[in-house]
Structure 1
């Protein structure tokens, strides 16, 4: 029993120790599991934090990129709006400048018109004063004439009485009656006046010759006065406007392909230089230059520029221009009242619209010559219709002298004979210049009308710049004289109106100043015909009543 109790106690103590140890082991296990769980949770939390940090960085980067894109788009939109506003302001400024220029031009015209009206009023006042003085002089002369008439009547009565008395005395002394004395006196006078009669006959012949010359001048002048025409013509270069400079590169094309194709197809030279807003077309043939100009404008308007399109547009422009050439020829024949022309001659007439001679449009020139020929033929009793026909066709050879060899009179003669015109009309084309045989008066009329049309001031000129330079030179010469206020070259440079200061230049010096100006113009300026110098002296006095 004593052994059992200690054993039981020992067993209980062992069990208790085992239980304590087991509880301690379990606590340690739980502590380790809890630590492991905490470490795992911490690792997962760290991974989630890193993942969230990465996602936040990506989101921030995306937001920043979106914000930059939005800011860039807003900046581009603002720049575009600013550019549009700037362009609109430029356009409005240009329109404003144009309006200001137009207003200034109108003001200048108004001022010039007011000056002209003032000059006209002054001239009218002077004429009225002159007429008043002339009327007073006429009245005074009428009174003197009445007195002279009364005195003359008295003298005539006294002379008649003396003559009768003398006749009675002569009859008594000579033993001849009145008729016998008259016969002797007339016989003596016939002998004395024979030489005077010869002189009078020579004088009459001279007067008739001068009258014939005056009549010819009058016929030509009347024909000129009945017709007046304006001539406008291009030279050898036409300009085509372009919207922007980028179009020049498109016209040239890659390696010059487009411009080479265009020049080969049209036969013209395209001048693409640094001149802003335009391209020049150079060619001596006005017809080819016009075709090229229309084709280039069509290509620029369409936007498609390549060799195939160039040929297509060029063909269409050629067809349109052919129809226009026929229409121009028909209109010219209708205006000049010339009918029955061959269709080829009508086409050649239309081509003359793009032919110039010293700056003068040849089609307008032929119409003017036709009218002058018809007018002079009518005044001389010839057929005016045939005269107009000769004048209209005299330069027909100029329509083909760029295509065939030979002078335009010879080419025109061959063309007219080929298409059924009479020898008179053909000879007018062949012999209207010197060196050919003239077979009819119509050829002479055509030559005269051609010379009249060519010699008319302003009909032919080298270029507009030389013409304007000559006008400016005339005005500068006049303004260089002392006392001259203003000078105007008018009537195509044929008259120079000079306004002098009425306070500093007396009337006695006007003729000297006019002669000096005319002399300097003759020495320093090259001009056709003559220049008339007219001086105007004006005095203005102003008083104000208050």
Structure 2
């Protein structure tokens, strides 16, 4: 019994041992499988990490190459910039030198053209800037005056009324006729001469009609041209004073009257300066001013208009506190250019301003002349005063008449048409345009040609000139031969 139990126990123990061994093997096999799976996972993870590391390494290498390439490009660009900067610096230095040379050449050219030095030019510019600053300040003053326009307009009316009350100028007295007083009725016969030869010689020479009326101890000179009429008046006065009248003496007196016109111009200019109260005017301007004594504008004598305008401008400048002498001088010279309008191109304001500037008048006076018809802007208060004074003198009742200027222009156009013909030396419109006397060159027009020329001129007038009634064309051909016995 005991041995059976022991055997059974040994068998049981053996079975238990076998079971334990089988269980241990199964556990070991499971652990090996788990270890193998874990190792496979670790191996795959390691491979993935190695692939990522390799990829990053390749990316890093590619980036390093790109950075190296960018660095090379940056270095090349930097070198190019340095080279460009060097070129720009070199060009800048060259341009600075060239600019300095051009400035020197321009300064020298301007100095040569202006006949002045840079220092003088700076002084002139400084004076100009001072004048401009003064003009700007005057502009500001005008703005202030606009803000108080009601009061200013009332004050302006008071000033103009007071100035006009101080003037006692007559109405326009410019006509197309002049009267010459005679010492006796017997002098009329001498003027007419035997068979009218004296009066014919006088009229042909002067281009002025002589009208002799009964019962009047005077003769009348008629012509639209004030210069012709004035010379004829001086000529006839000299003949009447002498008492001996014949064609040869008429020619001699006419020659003296023409030669003395310059002195009469100068005397008239000096008288105008004295009446206007202006001094220090150059002789050249005085002579031109005197020539205006025979010029009219709408029937108003230009020289008398200048004197009147100068007096008005001086009164206005006194009342408002402006420069009286500049206003007076600018007003006296404002129509100076009317002496040149029939000789040169341009408006009388521009011509007068240029002539005054050429003869040393100061800029404010020159601007007052140029600006009196608003062709340029006035630079000073005195220029505006000249505009006002000119308007006051021209617009006052009786100052001007438009019909006389229209008549003068009509006569001048008639003479111009006649002078266009070959051989004509002088054309004289007479008898209020009802007759034209044509003086021809005897070497160019013969006796037979005078008739043909008269018909041609008459046809030309009928075609191109509008006129009422009839116009008589008289062609005069006179051949003279002189000899001196010695």
Normalising by structure 1, we get a TM-score of: 0.41
So what's the TM-score if we normalise by structure 2?
Answer: 0.46
